[in-house]
Every structure is written in C-alpha cells, then in structure tokens.
Amino acid sequence: MFQESASLAAWKAKSFEFSGQGLLRFSYNHFAVHTVKAIYPGSFDPVTNGHLDLIARGAKMFDHLVVAILRNSTKAPLFTEAERVEMLTEGVRGFGNVSVATFHGLLVDFAREQKANAVLRGIRAISDYEYEFQMALMNRRLAPEVETIFLMPDAKYSFVSSRLIKQVFELGGSVDGLVPDFVVERLKQRVPHL
C-alpha cells in the first residue's frame, strides 16, 4: 500500500481546502490557500438571466465577485451606466459576496486596482470561445497573475445575449424568462414596440 510522505501530506494540506462535500479550492501557490477575488466584466445592456446564472455560480466559486460594467465610448448603449448599475445591483441583492462597479480602460488594470486574481467569463458558443480565448491570452501576457476562468451558462440560457434580447423586444417578441422582471419593465419604458 502507498505511504504518503510527510512532505507530500504537508503540501496537500497547504494546497487544497476540503469540506464534507469535497474539494473547495486548489491553490496554485502551494504555500498558502489565499482569498480569491474575481472580476466578471461586461456591458450588461441589459443584464440577462444568463448573466445572473454566471453570477450565482461565480459567487459560489469565489470569495468575492465584482460584476464590472465596462464604460465603452465606442458603443451606444440602450441603458445609461447608472441604469445598468441599478439593474445589476437589484439582480445581485441576495449575494453577500458580490458587488457592482464600473471601469474603463484595460480589464487587467481594473483587476489589479481591485486586487483581483481571477476574471470570470461566460462562453455560450464556439464563436464566443475564439474571441474570449484571444482576450484571455492577451490578459495573461499583460497580467500573468490574473487567471481567466470560463464557465458555460445553463443550457436554457446558452443562446441568450443582451443584443438578442433588445432585438427580440424591439420586434414585439416576448423575453419573459430570459431577463428578470425588472428588466422587462425597463425595456417597456425604453424600447418602442413595432
């Protein structure tokens, strides 16, 4: 029978954190298990149930999750930055370890400013993967200490995007179940139906 060496046992004790349900966290830094803070960036124009699904799962994975709205001057958003902050704040109200912020510029600069060591990104389709993979590699080059973690959404949200929600709503289609009710109400106030 295999006998674990004292040094291997000590390394495992420092590198893995277990609960009654199994592995909680693995630390690449085998000297200590550290706090993991992640950034989930996006435009969230508007927030969808797909976004909220990733936020809920990210809140379980990380000690703290910052949902970060990118201020992008090249896009003309439907909702103002303040409105998107309000919607996201309402959407994450039940999570004690999730906050909402805005940023501009490089994501890795914001991650460093927040002292975050991970970026959470959602992948819906292979087309998302190609773009996200390229961005993750550039972010790694700029900030090797910040890891990118990809999550797939729940299958029922795998096709949902903010852009699609706006298009369907503008054409008179129902988006019920794809966005929170408070987003439907804001869409009704903002978007004229055909």
Catalytic residue (one of 14, 30, 57, 124): 124
Q: Is 156 annotated as a binding residue?
A: no
Active site residue 75: yes
Q: Is 123 annotated as a binding residue?
A: yes
Q: Is 57 annotated as a binding residue?
A: no
Angle between helices 81-91 and 181-190 (to 10 degrees): 160
Q: Is 121 annotated as a binding residue?
A: yes
Catalytic residue (one of 64, 84, 162, 186): 162
Q: Is 5 annotated as a binding residue?
A: no
Q: Is 51 annotated as a binding residue?
A: yes
Sign of CA dihedral 53, 55, 59, 61: positive
Q: CA angle 15-110-37, nearest 5°? A: 25
Return d(Cα 175, Cα 169) in angstroms, integer. 7
Q: Is 90 annotated as a binding residue?
A: no
Return d(Cα 178, Cα 157) in angstroms, integer. 7
Q: What one-character DSSP code corresponds to residue 31?
A: T
Catalytic residue (one of 51, 64, 84, 166): 51
Q: Is 162 annotated as a binding residue?
A: yes
Catalytic residue (one of 12, 34, 75, 193): 75
Q: Is 174 annotated as a binding residue?
A: no
Active site residue 51: yes
Return d(Cα 175, Cα 182) in angstroms, integer. 12
Tokens of 55: 């936020």
Residues of 138-169 as b/e, b for ≥16 C-beta within 10 angstroms? ebeeebeebbbeeebbeeebeebbbeebbeeb
Q: Is 163 annotated as a binding residue?
A: yes
Q: Is 81 annotated as a binding residue?
A: no
Binding residue ranges for ATP: 43-44, 51, 122-124, 132, 157-163
Q: Which parts are annotated binding residues?
A: 43-44, 51, 75, 107, 121-124, 132, 157-163
User: Catalytic residue positions?
Assistant: 51, 75, 124, 162
Q: Which residues are annotated as a binding site for substrate?
A: 43, 75, 107, 121
